[in-house]
Structure 1
Amino acid sequence: MAEIVPALGTEIKKVKKKESPFIITLKRLLKNKLAVIGLIIIVVQIGMAICAPLITSYDPAKQNLVASELPVFSEEHWLGTDNYGRDVWSRIVYGARISLVVGLVAVSLGLIGGVTLGLLGGYYKKLDGIIMRIVDLLFSFPGILLAMLIIAILGTSLVNVAIAISIWSIPSCARIVRGSVLSIKEKEYIMAMKSLGASDLRIMVKHILPNCFAPIIVFATMRMATAILSTAALSYLGLGAQPPTPEWGAMISQGQAFMWSSPHLTIVPGIAIMLTVFAFNVVGDGLRDAIDPNMDIQ
């Protein structure tokens, strides 16, 4: 049998390996300058929270009345001290731990409740009416007032703040997931799984839920901003962290009495809250745009 020899000069095109959806989304996200800035801020905040004992040598709760109300860029305290002589930088660094942990716990609990209700409501028509009426009832309360009501019942603590914010997050998450489930469950492959005898639980967990991840991830990222801001607001009102806990909202509340003599006591934690909330919001916006299938990589 004669060998087939390719003609000279023929270019052999290399088949480009298909990129995964994760890589495509990452490329789109990295094209968004604001989202990149937000990612950098979040990474720095997480690094501060994890390495807090390494980047500050002061106990955030230890008082030193001799060195109280030192201004910023002092010799030993570059962000100054508060009215009790506590190092402001240490309290900001350790406050990052509290804000991120409370926000993460609150959003995680809210996702568990919201995803469960959204899956059940979207998949079962009989449960949909009941679940959506519960969701509508929760929506009838302004978010921060609902959180304050729950804390008034449970008591003031950061644990109860996380629970309150998670309950506040459930209805929004449930509606987002329900909307996705209603469209996905009518797809042909879902009908095929039903005809093959797959259980409802298997269909929901293995075939519907993974296709809802995109809106869930965007919601969770943007909800982190709301959770951190709400934690600070509730602590500012005295319903969250209690003295001497180094929480950003509580620091603003304690420092406002010294606004004219030591403005850094309110400005510094305020900037920390602003940057963190800004970072999660712009990353959430960037993820929403990056996951949009109508956007092409140029």
Structure 2
Amino acid sequence: MALLFALIDAAPTNWPHISDLPRLARRHPLVLTGGGLLALVIVVAIGAPFYAGDPMNMDPFKLLQSPSAALWFGADNLGRDVFARTMFGARISLVVGLASTTVAASAGLLIGLIAGYSRSFDNIMMRVMDGLMSIPTILLAIALVSLTGPGIGILIVAIAVPSTPTTARLVRSLVLSVRERPYVEAALCGGARLPKMLLRHILPSTIPPLMVQSANVCAAAILTEAGLSFLGVGVPPDIPSWGNMIASSRLYLAIAPLTVFAPGFFLAMTVLAVNLLGDGLRDMFDPQSKGGR
């Protein structure tokens, strides 16, 4: 909780106001496009129970049925509504993507802050990060699932652990460049304690790059979740997931193409939205870019 309040206190104070949105939309269209698409996916996922129907109901009389007024995207090989399953599948991708990104960003931020300032901690922790970076996400997920069984929590851990080292290295490099600046040395000479100095004087410089990195991690996490679910080591098969849907319907692509194309399209659109948002944030926060603020 203390770290949360420190992040809020350290956040930039010059965030745009509502009156600045038209100008920012002209200068940073990627932020508007990516943020709008991502907001649309979030609204679709949250409102799925109110309009999408039952994603688990199986009707043997609707096996691989073509799209109709009652079944917008048709039915899969078990007679389940593809539209309902696609809308509910957005929940899994967003929960796994956002949760694993939050875990990786929080752990990477804490490790990077300490490692960038403490040389003794740096020598030990960076070697641990090197070891984690050598573990493929798929192998780690298979190992964890074999020990505990499939589940969303295990999937989040399996994605967050390999993603933490890249965030930690980014924050560490930023801290190494900031800690030599005159205002940090002046704070030390003035008697500022290390925790306060890290949170008050160094942390604010890491937030904009961390936001951009988090967008990249989130996009990769959504794709990884879909890939792991496709391989059968992600969420349980009975839970609607875009990866599960593509895996179970790939044999019926010629007969019912929407059973594969519908979840694939929404997966691609979500990843595209997050990537556009990340690119827009990078341009916004980079003072060297043409569109930087």
Same fold (TM over 0.5): yes
1:201 counterpart = 2:195: yes
Report if aligned partners of 1:147, 1:168 keep a CA contact under 8 Å in 2. Answer: no
**Which of 242, 248, 257 is equivalent to 1:248?**
242
1:40 counterpart = 2:36: yes
Report if aligned partners of 1:78, 1:89 keep a CA contact under 8 Å in 2. Answer: yes
Report if aligned partners of 1:161, 1:240 keep a CA contact under 8 Å in 2. Answer: yes
Which has more radius of gyration? 1
Q: Superposed, which structure 2 residues align to 1:76-155 within 5 Å?
A: 76-155=70-149
Deviation of 1:30 after TM superposition, in Å, equals 4.9
1:234 counterpart = 2:228: yes
Report if aligned partners of 2:232, 2:244 keep a CA contact under 8 Å in 1. Answer: yes
**Which letter maps to 1:23?**
P
**Which letter maps to 1:62?**
N
Matches of 1:270 and 1:258 in 2, distance apart? Answer: 14
Matches of 2:194 and 2:55 in 1, distance apart? Answer: 52
- List structure 1 segments (4+ residues) > 6 angstroms apart after TM superposition: none
**Which letter maps to 1:68?**
L
**Which of 189, 198, 214 is equivalent to 1:220?**
214
Q: Which is helix-richer, 1 or 2?
A: 2
Deviation of 1:160 after TM superposition, in Å, equals 0.4
SS at match of 2:16: helix
Report if aligned partners of 1:225, 1:281 keep a CA contact under 8 Å in 2. Answer: yes
Deviation of 1:281 after TM superposition, in Å, equals 0.9
Deviation of 1:28 after TM superposition, in Å, equals 5.0
Matches of 2:184 and 2:31 in 1, distance apart? Answer: 35
Offset from partner CA, 1:196-227 (integer Å, 9 cap, x none) = 22211111122211221011100111111111
Report if aligned partners of 2:137, 2:158 keep a CA contact under 8 Å in 1. Answer: no
Aligned partner of 2:4 in structure 1 is: none
**Which letter maps to 1:54?**
F
Report if aligned partners of 1:185, 1:208 keep a CA contact under 8 Å in 2. Answer: yes
CA RMSD of aligned residues (A): 2.1
SS at match of 2:15: helix
Deviation of 1:148 after TM superposition, in Å, equals 3.5
Aligned partner of 2:47 in structure 1 is: 51
1:61 counterpart = 2:61: no
Unaligned runs of 5+ in 2: 1-12
Matches of 1:162 and 1:102 in 2, distance apart? Answer: 6
Report if aligned partners of 2:235, 2:241 keep a CA contact under 8 Å in 1. Answer: yes
Q: How many residues align?
A: 278
Structure 1 residues 30 and 98 mapped into 2: Cα distance closer, same or farther (>3 Å)? farther
Matches of 2:119 and 2:134 in 1, distance apart? Answer: 23
Matches of 1:216 and 1:34 in 2, distance apart? Answer: 18
Q: Identity across aligned pairs (percent)?
A: 36
Deviation of 1:151 after TM superposition, in Å, equals 3.6
**Which letter maps to 1:252?**
I
Unaligned runs of 5+ in 1: 1-19
